[in-house]
A and B are shown apart, each in its own frame.
Chain A
Amino acid sequence: MEITDRPIDRVFDYVEAIPGGAVLTTTVDKVLEWGRESSLWYFAFGLACCAIEVLMAAGAARFDLDRFGMMFRATPRQSDLMIVAGTVTKKMAPRVKRLYEQMSEPKFVISTGSCANAGGPFADSYAVLKGVDRIIPVDVYVPGCPPRPEALIYAVQKLKEKMRERVEEKHSR
C-alpha cells in the first residue's frame, strides 16, 4: 500500500530532517495508526453466503465486532476496510473494483471465503471470477466456506498487525 504522496507524510518527512524531530514524527504517526486500527469502519460488502456468517453473525450479539471498534458502513466513502464476503461473479467484478476505488486512502481489503480467495466450489463455473485479488489488492485472506465469525476476528487482528508493521517500515526507511 503506497501512502507516501499524502501531504501529511511530506510534512513529517520535513520534520524528520530537523535534528531531534524524529521522535516526535514517529510518535504522531504511530498515534494516527493506532487510532485508525482501533476504529476500523468496515464496508460490508456482502455478496453471497459469507455475508451471513462474517458480516451478519459476526456483527451480532454473540461475536460482536463492535467491541473492536468496528462499525458497519453501507458506503465505501466512510470506510477504511472492505470485507469482500462471497462469490465475485464476472458481472459483479467491475462494480467491486469501482467501489474499491471509491474508498479513501489508506484502505485495506479482507477477502473472506474460498470464493473470494480463489473461486471456491464454483471455480469451474463460467460465470465466476477466480479470486477477488485479480481485480483489487487483498491484505488478508480468510479461508473457509464460509469461515466462522471467529476466523474473521482473527483476520482483523492480523490486519492490525500488518498496519502497525506498515508504520514501522515507513520509519525504518
Chain B
Amino acid sequence: MSSRIKTELVEINMGPQHPSTHGVLRLEITLDGEVVVDAKPDVGYLHRGIEKLAEMRTYIQFIPITDRLDYLSSMLQNAVYVGAIEKLGQIEVPERAEFIRVIMMELQRIASHLIFYGSMGLDLGATTPFLYGMREREDILDLFEMTCGARLTYNYFRPGGVSHDLPDGFIEKARAYVKKQRERLREYDDLLTNNEIFILRTRGIGIISAEDAINYSMSGPSLRGSGVAYDVRKADPYSVYDRFDWSIATFDGCDSLSRYLVRMQEIRESLNIIEQALDMLPPGRLEYKTPQRLKLPEGEVYHHIESSRGDLGVYLISDGSDKPYRLKWRSPSFINLGALAKMVRGWKVADLVAILGSLDIVLGEVDR
C-alpha cells in the first residue's frame, strides 16, 4: 500500500474573471491533484498607466486620479500624494485640517477593513458577513458624503488643507457611529471570528514566518499577522499621529487567521483614534482655498503613510514646473502579492482562495 498513485501536474488558470480574485487578477496555478505546487500571479489586467497620466496633469488635477488607485481607501491615497507635495513644497497645514484628515483616514481604514471582513467571509462561502460589513460601511460613507459629497472617490485632500470643512452635525454623527460600531464588532465576532468552520479553514494555513515576510518586504496587516510590530504611523509618524494613544495590533500566528484578527483589532484601534481626534479637534472654521496654480521647487521627495493595506509610498520628482516630472507609487498590495507563491505552496486550491483573501489586495493598486 506504500506506493502512491502516480499523478501528473496540471496547469490551470484562475481568473482574470473569477469571483475570488478580488478583481481582475490571473493566477497560473500548477496543481498536483488538489495540492498547489506553484502559483504565479499575472498582473496588468487593470493597468491604466496612472503614473504616466500624472506627468500630463498638474499637481491639483491629479488628486482625483489618486482616488482610483486603491478605490477601497481613496482617502489614504489622497493623503500620501498630498503629503508628498506638502513635503517638497514645505506647505504648512492648519492644525484643524490635520485633525480632520486623521478622522477621515481612520474612518477610511475601517471602511476598507469592513470590506475585507465581508469578502473574507465570501471567499470561505459565508454570505452573511458581507451584508453585515457593508451595512456599517454605509454609515461611514454617509459621513464622507456629508463632508465632501462623494461616496467612493472623494478628492478631499488638498495641498495645505482639505476641500471642505466638517459640516454641521458631523461630530455628533461620528460619535454615534463610533458607539454603534463598537457594539457591532461583537456581532462580527459571534458571526465569523468565533465560528468553528472559519477557524478550521484559516488557522495554521498560509503560513509565512516573520523573517520571510520581512524578506518579501511585506507590510501592513499582512506583516503584523506574522508578529512584526511595524506600522508607519508609529515608526515614522506623519500628520498628528504622535498625539494619540493607541497600540499596534499584532498576532503571531503567521497564518490567515492572524492576518484576519489583526484587521479586526485595527478597527478597534482606529475607533479609539477617531474618538480622541474628535475630542482634540480645534474649534473654529477652517479657512482654506484650493490654490489654482501650484508650482513645486525642483527636487525629489519620498513620502509614505500606513494605508489599510500597508506601507504606501510616493516618490515624486519635480522639475520646477506645475506638473510632476515623475511619480512612482510604492503600492503595498503589489508587494504583498509577491509573497503569495511562498504562502500557497503545499495547500489545497480552496485554501489558496482563503490565503489570497487574507492578503486583502486591491487590483487598482497592484496594476496602477
Contact = CB atoms under 8 A, between A and B. Distances in A.
A125 B52 contact: yes
B315 to A, nearest CB: 20
Q: How large is the interface on B (under 10, 10 to 19, 20 to 34, 35 or more residues)?
A: 35 or more
B152 A127 contact: no
A52 B50 CA distance: 20
A46 interface: yes
A159 interface: no
Contacts of A51: 23
A163 interface: no
A145 interface: yes
Nearest to A122: B48
Contacts of A87: 46, 48
Given A48-B364, A61-B134, A91 B45 contact: yes
Contact of A47 (B19, B46, B53, B65): B46
B53 A124 contact: yes
A80 interface: no
B17 interface: yes
Contacts of A103: none
Given A91-B45, A99-B17, A124-B56, A48 B130 contact: no
Nearest to B43: A91
B234 interface: no
Contacts of B118: 56
A62 B138 contact: yes
B89 interface: no
Contacts of A46: 23
Nearest to B22: A46
A154 B135 CA distance: 21
Interface string B134-156: 11011001000000000111000
5 contacts: A57-B141, A57-B151, A60-B134, A61-B138, A127-B47
